[in-house]
Structure 1
Amino acid sequence: MLFFKFIQERTTFNLFVISTTLLFVTLLILTTLFFPSQINTMLESIKISVFDNFSWFYILSFSVFLCFLIALSVSHFGNIKLGANEDEPEFSFFSWLAMLFAAGMGVGLMFFGVAEPLTHYFSSITSGSLEQRQQQALMHTVFHWGIHAWAVYGVIALALAYFGFRYKLPLSLRSCFYPLFKERINGKVGDIIDIVALISTLFGLITTLGFGASQLGAGITQLGWVTENNFSVQLVIIAVVMGLAVFSAITGVGKGVKRLSELNLGLAFSLMLFVLIAGPTLYLLSSFSDNLGTYLSNVLQLGFKAYTYDTENNSFFTGWTILYWAWWCSWAPFVGLFIARISKGRTIREFIFGVLIIPTLFSILWFTVFGNSAIWIENHIGSGKLQAIISSPEKLLFQFLEFLPLPTITGFIALIIIALFFITSADSGIYVLNNIASRDKSMQTPRWQTILWGVVISSIAIVLMYSGGLSSLQTMTLIVALPFAMLICLMCVSLLKGIIADKKYFDTKVTPTSIFWRGDKWRERLNQMLVQTQEKDILKFLKQTALPAMRELRQELTNVHNLNVELVENLQDDEPSIEFIIKKESMRNFMYGIKSVSYETSEQLINDQKLPHIQYSKTYQPLAYFFDGRDGYDVQYMTRDELIADILKQYERYLSLLEDIGQELMAHEQTEIAE
């Protein structure tokens, strides 16, 4: 009881979410410490099972995410704003692009910028001449870091921004499922969503922590600061970096972190520019164009390729593509929340193209500069030195810089970049973890919670690295990201449902009935509006208003204008209706009908104490329908004369169409009916 009271009064934690997550983490740490070999065997078995049974799901779902975003952007939904219709973007277009650009960078690019293209170049996934192998190596690398990776970020960021700024819901993952679960997102359904997202994000951050620690260890070894990049060195690095990240988070030095991020971005650009100039410049510029074209030419095939007919390279597919896809899923809440927070006021179309294109172009440029340079150096002056350490990818960047001028300076700058990416990513990651685990997203987080997350992240990373190194981290990410990937698929359904409702809401015009409304009868109209219409009310309307109006109009049209008018009454049916038909010889008959239509009433409305007039599970409306199948409208507030006027308005439209395109259409339909 004391523990529950402490959580409730002294923390922002959601008790069920945090206790379930910490229980899972504690069991993982204890079993890994006491049964390391058994846990590694079990993880390996689960990894193989995921590869065998769910690789198709990972590859297909990411392509679905991409197609979903593209379809939204080119549809009429693309004009919807992330916010109120009058909201303007908080940042200028170029500032927004710059921040997206910054979001596309991180420890991963530093770690894999040289390692991945070089590894693919010397693997069985490439074949042919040296040039063809190089082209294929860069194609596969860019595929892993291109629009498919950003599609999963884009889906979550779009859902967060849309429901946060458009629906005015809290900027949290559970809000993204509001159209499907309504108020249940505030209960256990929302808690389960948060638990899956929390565990997935936690292991995504831990994997990045592992990559960063191993590369920083390799860097300081290369500079001669330590003699060996062993586990003890990496343990100290994790402790120091997480300590700085936690200090940054609890002191709230927002401007300082922002300046550090800007400095880091400038250093990363400077390093890339240095490599471009010091390396084979013209060759790299030409390669960028070639890599871009090759990627665009093959992205559709690669996006759906599950290596069913290329079993020789199945290990590449599972060991690279599927692990990457799992990693992107686990990072999606972190990157998605960042993108969502800076995108208020953008249209969906502008948002999608910005998120997909800008980071992808930068990734292609980054891997061209570092990857193509590394392969060129290996083929011309490397003498096999880079190939010899491919099995230790954390060393490749620093070994690569040894072949360029000023290796000590550039190596030191690379260390600073990795460390700063490390710190800022961990800082932001802790914020996201607190956000997901919080019961109220608007509450101020106590400092000790930030320290707790720093301890949890560091502990899991250290234990898993001790027991199995980076392989164990990647395996855990692969496993926990699978249910979250399924959750993202459900999020797409929820987002589409919300957007469709949004479009319908804002496109809905005032009912045609209101055209006839006059101020002298406003009390009578109000009384009608505040009564939940039932079937008996519809029958009363049809008998006392609609039928007398149609009979009066029929008498006028037949006696005065000699038209052939028929009145069809179906008042005894399950769905009572009446139809007013003006018959024609060679054209389709004019028909104006009114039918009773029932609608399910939301439980939320029934239970709302502020809407006492809504009591029944069904509401009925007398809905007009027409000869040509157009959508009708509610006519229950019309008087007898107003209903006659509405029928004549539709008949006037019918007559005007007979003189133009309607004559062809309705004559053709009449011929088909006769046949």
Structure 2
Amino acid sequence: MTNSQRTITGAVLLPVFVPAVVITLLLILGTLSNPELAGEVFKSALAWVTETFGWFYMLATAVFLVFIICVGFSSWGNIRLGPDHAEPQYSFPAWFAMLFSAGYGIALLFFGVAEPVLHFSQPPNATAETVQAAREAMQIAYFHWGLHIWGIYGLMGLVLAYFAFRHGLPLSVRSALYPLIGDRIYGPIGHTVDVFAILGTLFGLATTLGLSVTQINAGLHYLWEDIPISTTVQITAIALITVAAIGSVVAGMDKGVKNLSILNMVLAVFLMGIVFLVGPSIHILDAFVQNTGAYLGNIVSRTFNLQAYTQSDWIGNWTLFIFAWTIAWAPFVGLFIAKISRGRTIRQFVFGVLVVPTTFTFLWFAIFGDTALYLIMEQGKQVLIGEVQADHAVALFEFYDLLPWSTFLSVITVFLIITFFVTSSDSGSLVVDSLASGGAHETPIWQRVFWASLEGVIASTLLLAGGLSALQTMSILAALPFAIIMLLAALGLWRALVIEGHRGATLVAAAAPVRAFSNETSWRKRLSALFKFPEQAKIEHFIKEVVTPAMEEVQKELAIHDWKANITAEDNGVTFQLERDEKLDFFYQVLATEHQVPDVHTDGTTLATHWQADVYIRNGALGYELYGCSRDEVIRDLIDQLEQYFNFVDAAPGHLPWNTVS
């Protein structure tokens, strides 16, 4: 991207920002001008997409899950998302809390009781309100919120983290297509991909926020009957909580999102513990084990079940809606997970994203859903069915009404929904802001505030246009183009990993950090470099005045020996590439990259980030930087890597696969 594209707007990337905002505002204005007509259009569109592309959503979801599992448990699982020496930025509990809060904490609160009860009373393939219906209800709930959901999130997060932290590309959805189209990701194709990602995120997030405020409204009405259940109350709630979200998003990732996410997890586990203790504890454990086994035993048949012979609306209202909603939200959750996953191996990432959240989810449904069914079947609490059918949002609070300490649990739950709302909105704002800024790490506060406000406006608009039905429709529509983008992203990741796998077998030793200074360099100079935290301008000047001339000297020397080397100026660095016919090119890149810095510096000041001149080769960052080196030291390092490259290529059997990553 060029500087001319940023101009007055600060960090905004105009070819992405403008189309995304214009399309969103047109939709908002069109809906507000005639909410009834908009509702009818949404309804018709939902029916058409479900009938025409239902097979595609299901097949794509299956591909995503199988692909990420295969990658995670292959030899590629040892690859680190970042330099080989990188360590995770966040502890595992904090990491899990953030990805779970952003992922679908609100959905579990909304559907944890409602979905099992609704499937029990109206099962797609069983007699209503029977033991068989109870079994099917829990299997469906597990299927809808299990591995498939996190396979979608995980794939997007893995692709983005790999290319951003391993290969120095922007932390943006466009980077996923780099192995397929190369530098064209910085042009119209890349801009279009990021626009679709922003729209999918905005509408997916609007669905989640819409669900949360309907449940907040139901909880407030349950606690205080004078508060009516109405669109006015819900839009007011969106406005108030959006203000809180703006405060969190201004605070940033560590102070805002992380702390709120940890609070969310503590409260969620607390609620689970209370319901487990006052509910049928042994029955919950028995049901958890049995339902998990049934889920694993039927996962293949359910994955490909589209009710082709019954032509029911059930599949569109439930399975396709949930999976499409997840795909629409994948750029947000995936990019957010990527931002917090630097330093983990691919296997750690896959295990953490798939197994841990899925296990937690199954426990949640066992504790809340199975307890609700137990109360209905064993204690005759049939009233719960009618209440849930009348209003899905009130399910959890009517469920509490059948347990001890119902008011206390309801107050905690309303507060938890609000904090989930805030974390979803502020983390979503950070992600959309990053997408609209070409992957920038630091952006002006006004941009984050703008996106947080716009999310609240979209949710309010769709509530006016038909409530849950309109929200559901926009999620499914937004998911269609992005499902195609995700399939292409999976292909791109596979091609890049094939290259890295070939190289890794020979270059294990070569991938270790190389010295940034020669042995003759003064130890005082090397020690002083440890306390330098340069700004972007200094790194860019170093690359232009030291690194590029060093590459040019090597280029001239190689030309004497009839070797052709190309030097390409990048937006944030420079690339040296040696071409070999039918062989893998030599690739040495120095990029100006942004990094977190220690909390306190020698002068007592606190900074958020600093910049480095990091070295990248085909298999990612080598874990060292060049800033402070002389021209001769850069030349020496380049030749070191060139020697290792020749050893690798000459030792590799046969021809290596061609790849467009460069």
TM, length-normalised to structure 2: 0.75
Once residues 555 and 256 of structure 2 are traced to their aligned partners in structure 1, the CA distance between those partners, rounded to angstroms, is 62
Once residues 630 and 445 of structure 1 are traced to their aligned partners in structure 2, the CA distance between those partners, rounded to angstroms, is 47
**Out of 628, 631, 637, which is 2:654 matched to?**
631
> For structure 1, which segment, 162-171 or 40-49, has the greater mean C-alpha deviation from structure 2 after superposition?
40-49
Matched, 1:83 2:82: yes
Matched, 1:347 2:345: yes
1:210 counterpart residue number: 210
The 3 A distance-change label for structure 1 pair 10 and 74 is closer
Q: Deviations over 1:186-208 (max 9, x none)?
A: 12111001000000000011001
Give the partner amino acid of 1:415.
Answer: V
Contact 2:43-2:469 within 8 A present in 1 as well? no
Give the partner amino acid of 1:55.
Answer: G
Give the partner amino acid of 2:56.
Answer: F
Q: Secondary structure at the match of 1:631?
A: coil
1:282 counterpart residue number: 282
Give the partner amino acid of 2:28.
Answer: I
Once residues 93 and 251 of structure 2 are traced to their aligned partners in structure 1, the CA distance between those partners, rounded to angstroms, is 30
Once residues 23 and 93 of structure 1 are traced to their aligned partners in structure 2, the CA distance between those partners, rounded to angstroms, is 39
Matched, 1:60 2:59: yes
Contact 1:120-1:126 within 8 A present in 2 as well? no
1:648 counterpart residue number: none
Once residues 350 and 249 of structure 1 are traced to their aligned partners in structure 2, the CA distance between those partners, rounded to angstroms, is 28
The 3 A distance-change label for structure 1 pair 409 and 449 is same
Contact 1:221-1:227 within 8 A present in 2 as well? yes
Structure 1: tracts of 5 or more residues without a match = 511-521, 534-596, 606-610, 612-620, 634-675
1:27 counterpart residue number: 26
Contact 1:164-1:171 within 8 A present in 2 as well? yes
Q: Secondary structure at the match of 1:125?
A: coil
Q: Deviations over 1:204-238 (max 9, x none)?
A: 11001100110000000000163411111111100
Q: Deviations over 1:326-353 (max 9, x none)?
A: 1111221222223223322322223212
Contact 2:176-2:489 within 8 A present in 1 as well? yes
2:169 counterpart residue number: 169
Contact 2:207-2:475 within 8 A present in 1 as well? yes
Contact 1:127-1:133 within 8 A present in 2 as well? yes
1:580 counterpart residue number: none
> For structure 1, which segment, 153-162 or 351-360, has the greater mean C-alpha deviation from structure 2 after superposition?
351-360
Q: Deviations over 1:128-180 (max 9, x none)?
A: 58222111100001101000110011101111111111112222211121111
Q: Deviations over 1:283-339 (max 9, x none)?
A: 11111111111111111111122222343xx31111101000111112212222232
The 3 A distance-change label for structure 1 pair 495 and 5 is closer
Matched, 1:387 2:385: yes
Q: Secondary structure at the match of 2:229?
A: coil
Correspondences of 1:307-322 after superposition (within 5 Å)? 307-311=307-311, 314-322=312-320
Matched residues, number = 536
Give the partner amino acid of 2:260.
Answer: L
Contact 2:249-2:257 within 8 A present in 1 as well? no
Correspondences of 1:219-230 after superposition (within 5 Å)? 219-224=219-224, 226-230=226-230
**Out of 522, 544, 563, which is 1:531 matched to?**
563
Correspondences of 1:257-656 after superposition (within 5 Å)? 257-311=257-311, 314-389=312-387, 390-439=389-438, 441-442=440-441, 444-507=442-505, 529-532=561-564, 598-599=581-582, 631=654
Give the partner amino acid of 2:160.
Answer: L
Once residues 509 and 211 of structure 1 are traced to their aligned partners in structure 2, the CA distance between those partners, rounded to angstroms, is 51
Once residues 414 and 527 of structure 1 are traced to their aligned partners in structure 2, the CA distance between those partners, rounded to angstroms, is 70
TM, length-normalised to structure 1: 0.74
Once residues 172 and 315 of structure 2 are traced to their aligned partners in structure 1, the CA distance between those partners, rounded to angstroms, is 33
Give the partner amino acid of 1:498.
Answer: A
Q: Secondary structure at the match of 2:404?
A: coil
The 3 A distance-change label for structure 1 pair 509 and 90 is closer
Once residues 345 and 523 of structure 1 are traced to their aligned partners in structure 2, the CA distance between those partners, rounded to angstroms, is 34
1:616 counterpart residue number: none
Q: How far did 1:118 drift? A: 0.6
The 3 A distance-change label for structure 1 pair 262 and 135 is same
Q: Deviations over 1:414-439 (max 9, x none)?
A: 11111111111111111111011114
Larger radius of gyration: 1
Q: How far did 1:34 drift? A: 2.0
Once residues 30 and 76 of structure 1 are traced to their aligned partners in structure 2, the CA distance between those partners, rounded to angstroms, is 51
Q: How far did 1:5 drift? A: 9.3
Q: How far did 1:20 drift? A: 0.9
The 3 A distance-change label for structure 1 pair 529 and 273 is farther
Give the partner amino acid of 2:282.
Answer: L
The 3 A distance-change label for structure 1 pair 96 and 45 is closer
The 3 A distance-change label for structure 1 pair 632 and 503 is closer
1:117 counterpart residue number: 116
1:617 counterpart residue number: none
Once residues 600 and 70 of structure 1 are traced to their aligned partners in structure 2, the CA distance between those partners, rounded to angstroms, is 30
Once residues 45 and 344 of structure 2 are traced to their aligned partners in structure 1, the CA distance between those partners, rounded to angstroms, is 42
Q: Secondary structure at the match of 2:139?
A: helix
Identity value in percent: 38
Contact 2:257-2:427 within 8 A present in 1 as well? no
Q: Secondary structure at the match of 2:240?
A: helix
Greater relative contact order, per chain length (Cα 8 Å cut-off, separation 6+): 2
Give the partner amino acid of 1:142.
Answer: Y
Once residues 101 and 247 of structure 2 are traced to their aligned partners in structure 1, the CA distance between those partners, rounded to angstroms, is 23
Q: How far did 1:14 drift? A: 1.5
Contact 1:250-1:450 within 8 A present in 2 as well? yes
Give the partner amino acid of 1:272.
Answer: M
1:250 counterpart residue number: 250
The 3 A distance-change label for structure 1 pair 33 and 394 is same
Q: How far did 1:529 drift? A: 4.5
Once residues 223 and 237 of structure 1 are traced to their aligned partners in structure 2, the CA distance between those partners, rounded to angstroms, is 16
Q: Deviations over 1:498-538 (max 9, x none)?
A: 1112223333579xxxxxxxxxxx999956654349xxxxx
RMSD (CA atoms): 3.2
Dislocated runs of 4+, deviation >6 Å: 4-7, 522-525
Q: How far did 1:354 drift? A: 2.2
Give the partner amino acid of 1:348.
Answer: I
1:14 counterpart residue number: 13
> For structure 1, which segment, 419-428 or 338-347, has the greater mean C-alpha deviation from structure 2 after superposition?
338-347
1:38 counterpart residue number: 37
1:637 counterpart residue number: none
Q: How far did 1:87 drift? A: 2.7
Q: Deviations over 1:439-481 (max 9, x none)?
A: 4513x32222223223322222212211211110110111011
Q: Secondary structure at the match of 1:171?
A: coil
